[in-house]
């Protein structure tokens, strides 16, 4: 999220949104963001956290474009489960039904 906001708005203008993010997420999330937490299960980030974050950054981004945020992730930041599911989809598209 930080890379996305800094790219879109610059560090200075992204700061209020990133401060909001820090205040909303529990410290355990920052220690291990890829670990599934009860917080993330109970709080739909796409309905609450991300819209407010974007508002504070003064950035208009419809939910259908949230993939642009994910596009800033490094390979090692993508959960294994996501990679497995995307690989399975690609196999179907390629006609390789394993």
Splitting the chain (98 residues) into consecutive groups of 10 residues, what average pLDDT does each group show? 91 90 84 71 81 92 93 89 91 81
pLDDT (0 to 100) of residue 37: 66
Closest CA to 53 of 25, 29, 77: 25
Sign, CA dihedral 72-74-78-84, equals positive
- Does any domain span residue 98? no
pLDDT (0 to 100) of residue 4: 93
Largest CA distance in the chain: 48
pLDDT (0 to 100) of residue 67: 92
- Does any domain span residue 81? yes
By residue range, what is the domain housing residue 63? 2-93
Total number of domains constituting the chain? 1
pLDDT (0 to 100) of residue 40: 65
Number of other residues whose CB lies within 10 A of the CB of residue 37: 14
pLDDT (0 to 100) of residue 36: 67
d(CA 30, CA 39): 12
Contact assessment for residue 57 and residue 8, using Cβ atoms and an 8 Å cutoff: yes
């Amino acid at each position: 999220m930080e890379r996305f906001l800094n790219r879109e708005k610059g560090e200075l203008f992204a700061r209020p949104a990133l401060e909001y993010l820090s205040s909303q997420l529990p410290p355990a999330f920052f220690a291990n963001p890829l670990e599934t937490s009860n917080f993330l299960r109970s709080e739909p980030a796409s309905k609450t956290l991300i819209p407010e974050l974007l508002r504070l950054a003064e950035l208009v981004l419809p939910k259908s474009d949230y993939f642009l945020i994910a596009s800033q992730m490094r390979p090692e930041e993508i959960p294994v489960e996501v990679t497995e599911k995307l690989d399975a989809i690609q196999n179907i598209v390629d006609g390789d039904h394993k």
